[in-house]
Amino acid sequence: MRKLEWTFVAALLAVCAGFPLFQSIHEMTVDKDAPHVLDLFRKSPTKENLHHWDDNAKDRSVFAKWLRPPTLQLRYNLLGEMAPKSVQGAEDWLFYNQDVDYLLQPPYTDERFYKGAFDTLIEGKRVNLRDPRVAITDFRDRLKARGIELLLIPIPGKPSIYPEKLYAGFQGSPVSPTRALIDDLRAQGFHVADLFGPLMEAKAKGAPQLYLRRDTHWTPQGLEVAADIVARAIRDLGVIPQATVTSQVPKFALQDTLVDRWGDIAEMTKVPDRKKIWALENVKADRVIEVLTGAPYKDDPASPILWLGDSFSRIYQTDAPGSAGVIAHVAYRLNRPLASIVNDGGASTVVRQQLARRGELLKDKKLVVWTFVERDLRFGSKGWQVQELP
Amino acid sequence: MVFTEDMFLYYFLPLVLAVYYLIPFDKNPKPGRSRYWMRNLWLTLMGYLFYSWFEPWFVLPMMFTNVADYLFGIYLGRDDIAPRRRKLVLAVSMVMNLGLLGVFKYGVFTQVNLNHLLSLVGQPVFSVLQIAFPIGISFYTFHSMSYIIDIYRGERPVKSFADFSCFVSLFPQLVAGPILRYNVLSQQLHSRTHSLNLFARGVMLFFVGFGMKILLANPVGRIADAAFAAQSPHAMDAWWGVLAYAFQIYFDFNGYSVMALGLGMMFGFELIRNFNAPYHSDSITDFWRRWHISLSTWLREYLYISLGGNRKGERRTYINLALVMLLGGFWHGAQWQFIFWGAIHGTMLGLERWGGKKPFYANLPRQVRVAFTFFVVLITWVFFRADGLPHAFHYLAAMFGMTQPGPFADLLKAEIYQFHNLLDMAICAVAVVQPVQSYEFCRTLTWPKFAVGFGVFLVGVVMMYTQAFNPFLYFQF
């Protein structure tokens, strides 16, 4: 009996004392570093320092590094389970859970949207900074004071356009809550380009796939639909002199390229064998090149149009094949280069913070095009902060 | 600190255990001081460290409560105090404890509702002062109050501050119970048995509780989170979500309680069990004998009996019952939904008592009674989980098909009916239905049980590395 009881004690100690002991020895011998546990005594015990230490411990854990990959692989093989950020759809499509949650959860017009957020006083008015309209209105007004117009482009998430690829039995007419925001903003006098209708229309007409199967982003075909709409919206605004838009010799041309996209959601699954499980997607992308030199499209900081965007603006643009993203395609359609600030996942606030640090970019601008993926209305990095401009 | 994270498992626990067992007994303790006073002092210090890990300043109100109630206890324990003065000291202590709870836990709730009242009568509202909520304050406040009430009722106070603060800040039960009554632990603070068998049983309980949290509660919690976050789910999805929540809260809280019991045993303490197959209950009265037993016992001993219990006539009994359940609900959280949750349970208890402590469905077959009780409990869990009273009613309406599902409601199915979700729910259902309870399972140790327990623990540790930080649900109370 005592042998059994001692075995229980030994089993507990083997894990609870053995793991950290092994970790410390590993850190000293393999990593040639002081044991991480000693860091606890090097800084004052504030909440931030303690939690930072916790996070570091998780990152440095030898056992986590060893055990996590085979566990994730086994869970996928046995149960089809993936890391929580990704959702398995039909026909090998993968979806980003924030894209799905944005459509499932209450929209900005619902009281629950503001749970845990508190009203803030701005110029004597009570506003809630979780409400995207507050930051959008503020930004519009600050630009207007400088004589600059604002064009808003909410970008549909993949499940808004392809809900049936997430759940094969999807029924009903998918109307994203973002369309209510578009109507609301238009009613308040904002310039907003609607990409939802044209993308759904293109899909209904049998257009090639508009979003990548295992990526959060659109295909080159999807972005070209968007580029058409945005370029038309910019022209219709009339802030850029027509002469410079239409009556010039074409500056740019298109060049066919093929590009392999692996898929950011496939990466998010963290399944070690993901590259064996899912094939690469090979898509045709039109690269924008300068007619005179054949050089790939390049931004022009002096352009009267400034583009603010997230990874939907980065894909194919600075990623392979380069100069084939939505910015280049809008420039191609407008026959003039644009200036841009692009930050992955940061379209709600970070791009405006970057703009505030690069105030010179606003010089001689006539128009700011602000694009953001619709899920950022709920999950935008740093929320929707009011941001002063220099 | 959370029992299921690296810091606790790999650093805190081995350190506390090692030093605890290196500290010698005091072979000749001074009168009134326990032979374990040094070990109790060590546990107290470690309790403070454990607690301060959430937020260092949280430890200040707890220390204040400790010192004040220790002094109140010493004073109340004197034999030369007039009854009126004893009552006054008791009242001061209660006001202090409930006042702290009121400020930290109910401060924002009070301000927000005051604003509602002001706006109803057309007065300008004020800016709500945000007050941080120290985790577990409801638990240690109840511990401290039980001490003072027990001393008032005739128990002898502890002489040693180390012993008293060890009772309040004993880390296994500090932030989520079981809620200890002083009279249960007073003897053990003074003299307790440290045996290899008790330690090994504690380890086994710890293994089992760890498995409940990591392998059962956390996976089904994702289903519940998705369903409750949805704007307007389909009826079936809403039922699936609340069922997942019923499993989540049971395995989360029971897992915590079983780990707390196990940890207590490793230090020689035998804490009280908190659960006894609550979903096997065949009435709500029965449910409260099996669910969060330490809370229902605490409320019965210190509130229901203090209010007169069933000794002041039938009408008063019903009022007392309702009041206890309402306050029990409010204890869980400063939100109307918890009061509503308590009100439903109170009403059901009243109805059952009206039938002579037998439910009005007492003549039905047991399986039907159990199913009906579980149905009522499921309905009440909606109030427990929802983001407020309007959301609770909306969710209930969705469960009964009385709302229009949102345009993308179908997509929820892709999130909550994956194969692994179905398997997790099936395992939880089997674990709930099967008759063996962890407490009994761990009473005797065998090699096969070791294999099961250690296997569950190892798998739990491995799975822990694939899960995000996921504290116990009851920490929020």
Same domain, A209 and A320: yes
CA-CA distance, A58 to B467, in Å (whole number)?
Answer: 11
How far does the CA of residue A20 sit from the closest CA of chain B (Å)? 6
Q: Which of B165, B192, B219 is the last residue of a domain?
A: B192
Please tell me the total count of domains within chain B: 2
Interface check for A45 against chain B (CB to CB < 8 A): the answer is yes
Our measurement of the distance from residue A226's CA atom to the centroid of its chain's CA atoms, rounded to an integer in Å, reads 17
CA-based nearest residue to B464, from B211, B93, B98: B211
Q: Do B411 and A81 touch (CB under 8 A)?
A: no
CA-CA distance, A280 to A260, in Å (whole number)?
Answer: 6
Same domain, A160 and A228: yes
- List the pLDDT tens digit at each of the 390 positions of chain A: 689 999 999 999 999 999 999 999 999 998 888 888 888 888 887 888 888 888 888 888 898 899 989 999 999 999 988 888 999 999 899 999 999 999 999 988 888 888 877 777 677 677 788 899 999 999 999 999 999 999 999 999 999 999 999 998 887 777 899 999 999 999 999 999 999 999 999 999 988 999 999 999 999 999 999 999 999 999 999 888 765 555 578 889 999 999 999 899 999 998 999 999 998 999 999 999 999 999 999 999 999 999 999 999 999 999 999 999 999 999 999 999 999 999 999 999 999 999 999 988 999 999 999 999 999 999 998 889 999 988
Chain A residues in contact with B10 (beta carbon < 8 A): 16-17, 19-20, 23
pLDDT at B375: 97
Please tell me the total count of domains within chain A: 2
In a domain, A4, yes or no: no
DSSP β-bridge partners for residue A342: A309
How would you list the strands of the sheet with A367-373, edge to edge?
A191-192, A149-155, A367-373, A305-309, A339-342
Query: How long, in residues, is chain B?
Result: 477
CA-CA distance, A158 to A103, in Å (whole number)?
Answer: 11
In a domain, A54, yes or no: yes
Q: Do A64 and B462 touch (CB under 8 A)?
A: no
Q: Do A17 and B14 touch (CB under 8 A)?
A: yes
User: What is the DSSP annotation of A311-357?
Assistant: HHHHTTTTSTTSS-SHHHHHHHHHTS--EEEE-TT-TTTHHHHHHHH
Residue-wise pLDDT for A214-272, tens only, equals 999 999 999 999 999 999 999 999 888 765 555 578 889 999 999 999 899 999 998 99
How far does the CA of residue B95 sit from the closest CA of chain A (Å)? 30
Scanning every residue of chain B, which has its alpha carbon at the shortest distance from the alpha carbon of A87?
Answer: B415
Same domain, B109 and B243: no
- Show the domain range for A167: 94-379
Q: Which two tokens stand for residue B64?
A: 């204040």
Q: Do A4 and B450 touch (CB under 8 A)?
A: yes
Residue-wise pLDDT for A326-367, tens only, equals 999 999 999 999 999 999 999 999 999 999 999 889 999 999
Q: Do A95 and B414 touch (CB under 8 A)?
A: yes
Same domain, B187 and B208: no
Catalytic residue among B143, B234, B332, B394: B332
- Show the domain range for B183: 6-192
In chain B, which among 235-294 make CB contacts under 8 A with chain A?
none
Kindly state the DSSP code that residue B405 receives in the 8-state scheme: P
By Cβ distance, the residue of A17, A80, A83 closest to B418 is A80
Same domain, B143 and B265: no
CA-CA distance, B291 to B343, in Å (whole number)?
Answer: 17
Same domain, A63 and A121: no
Our measurement of the distance from residue B326's CA atom to the centroid of its chain's CA atoms, rounded to an integer in Å, reads 16
In a domain, B313, yes or no: no
Alpha carbon separation from A251 to A49, A294, A323 (Å, rounded): 55, 10, 14
Same domain, B206 and B264: yes
Chain B residues in contact with A89 (beta carbon < 8 A): 414
Chain B residues in contact with A3 (beta carbon < 8 A): none
Same domain, B252 and B157: no
Chain B residues in contact with A16 (beta carbon < 8 A): 9-10, 13-14
Do residues B236 and B148 make contact, with C-beta atoms less than 8 angstroms apart? no
How far does the CA of residue B7 sit from the closest CA of chain A (Å)? 7
Do residues B189 and B163 make contact, with C-beta atoms less than 8 angstroms apart? yes
By Cβ distance, the residue of A64, A81, A89 closest to B414 is A89
Task: Please report the beta strands in chain A, taking only residues with DSSP state E, as ranges in sequence order.
Answer: 86-88, 94-96, 119-122, 125-128, 149-155, 191-192, 252-261, 281-290, 305-309, 339-342, 367-373
Q: Do B450 and A8 touch (CB under 8 A)?
A: yes
Same domain, A68 and A123: no
Q: Which of A34, A50, A78 is the last residue of a domain?
A: A78
Our measurement of the distance from residue A3's CA atom to the centroid of its chain's CA atoms, rounded to an integer in Å, reads 57
